[in-house]
Copies of this chain bind each other. A is one copy, B any other.
Amino acid sequence: MVELEWIDKLRAVFESFGFASIETRSVEPVEVLLKQGDTDKEIYSIGRLLADPDDKAEPTYALHYDMTVPMARYVAANMNDLTFPFKRYQIQKAWRGERPQEGRFREFLQCDVDVVDTREIPLHFDAEIPVIMHEAVNAIGAGPLVTKINNRKVLEGYYAGLGITDTANAIRIIDKLDKIGAKGVGTMLGDELGLDGDAIAKVLGLAEIRGNDASVVQRVKALGVKSDLLDQGLDELHFVMRELERYPEGTFVADLSIARGLAYYTGTVYEAKFADFPDFPTVCGGGRYDNLVGDLINKRLPGIGISIGLTRIFAKLMREGRIQAGRKAPTDILVVHTQGAPYSVIRETAGALRARGLKVEQYHEDRKLKAQLKYAADKGIPWIWFPPAEAGGEHQVKNSATRDQTPADPATWLPE
């Protein structure tokens, strides 16, 4: 019930920005899922249980592991029916063959907002997307988060300016900074890309830069590396950070170490963590991907989006005692089975209360009152209703908390 309440609040925030909900099927063709090259995700394939066990046919379909690839397929398949920029949110289950541990689940609820366009997507979206997720996380009381922002063009342009040709691999290595530290990254950069000590120092120097405002751009420039792509990336990062300067310090932080593992990002990238649990894994991530969608149909369809791991957040906050499960049922009123009363009187009492928008259970068994009251107490039902023993008699209602019991009319009574 708490999770449903979260989803309702998230929907309200996304729709307040004009995003429409879509839902895609749980399975995608294996070839579409594998094309993204994100091979370290263990994918669950599906098969027919009654299939011949000797039939070694390759699996054709698998459960999706995120919402981005399914959304890309959806857009490609429905190009002519969509209005661009296409803005959608999607809250669905996803599946990954993880080893279950804190923050890692095999089945989890993922929640994405994305924009896909047939034209260049204005940079304003790069600033709006993290704001939407910031408001969403606050709406469910799961904040504060720290959202770190970088730009792939900065990384690629900087590495190119250093003479690194395999920038994709450099990004893959720098993405490990959190896990293996500066020394480990330096070693990999030397071993795998043949960088010398000076170049390694420059790469690590970039990754040390972070800040709350657009001033980080000056600090990158001060490192003395130059390329057109770097300049373009810094302009973009500057625009986004200037737009976000209106938020309290620490809400949105430029962090030049953020790379995001996925190969498909091409510009702004986001990564958010709990402010209070900095060692807990990333709960929110995304960025701009100019080629992912269009590649499916040989068109250019730039996209940008962000994704939040609801199950991961939910489990962590539950564990930390920040989510309290409430009563066991949504019921407002239990209408007791008054002994000797005609059943129709009891049923009509419940119906009259229900017709006025109240959530009403009848206790259906003609049983000692004590047992009926115990049921209400166990479920945490706040009001107990006593229909009269005969039609036309006096109704009474009892407040479970105060134990006050007063006469009441099912046609007019409202809870205090």
Residues of chain A whose beta carbon lies under 8 Å from any beta carbon of chain B: 1, 3-4, 11, 15-21, 23, 25-27, 30, 42-50, 53, 56, 58-59, 62-63, 82-83, 85, 87, 93, 95, 97, 107, 119, 121-122, 124-125, 128, 243, 328-331, 334, 343, 354, 357-362, 364-366, 375, 378-379, 381
Contacts and interface: CB of A to CB of B under 8 A. Distances in A.
Given A17-B354, A27-B107, A122-B364, A87 B329 contact: yes
Given A1-B21, A15-B359, A44 B48 contact: yes
B20 A1 contact: yes
Contacts of A358: 16
Given A1-B20, A18-B381, A27-B107, 17 more contacts: A1-B21, A4-B21, A16-B354, A18-B334, A18-B360, A20-B328, A26-B26, A42-B50, A44-B48, A44-B49, A45-B48, A46-B47, A49-B59, A83-B328, A122-B365, A122-B366, A128-B364
B53 A42 contact: no
A17 B361 contact: yes
A48 B41 CA distance: 11
B59 A56 contact: no
25 contacts: A15-B330, A16-B354, A17-B361, A18-B330, A18-B331, A18-B334, A18-B360, A19-B330, A20-B328, A25-B107, A26-B95, A26-B107, A27-B107, A45-B46, A45-B47, A45-B49, A46-B63, A47-B59, A49-B97, A53-B56, A87-B329, A122-B365, A124-B365, A128-B362, A128-B364
A47 B47 contact: yes
A44 B50 CA distance: 8
A62 B359 CA distance: 36
A43 B53 contact: no
Contacts of A11: 4
Nearest to A63: B46
Nearest 7 CB-CB pairings of A with B: A18-B361, A18-B331, A124-B364, A83-B378, A43-B49, A122-B364, A15-B330
Nearest to A93: B26
A375 B83 contact: yes
Contacts of A125: 364
Contacts of A119: 365
Copies of this protein in the assembly total 2
Contacts of A53: 56, 58
Contacts of A49: 30, 42-45, 59, 62, 97
A57 to B, nearest CB: 10
Contacts of A328: 20, 82-83
A48 B56 contact: no
Given A20-B328, A107-B27, A83 B42 contact: no
Contacts of A62: 49
A113 to B, nearest CB: 13
Contact of A97 (B27, B48, B63, B343): B48
Nearest to A39: B50
A366 B334 CA distance: 58
A360 B17 contact: yes
B107 A361 contact: no
B18 A359 contact: yes
A44 B15 CA distance: 35
A378 B83 CA distance: 7
Nearest to A115: B364
Contacts of A128: 362, 364
A48 to B, nearest CB: 5
A365 B379 CA distance: 53
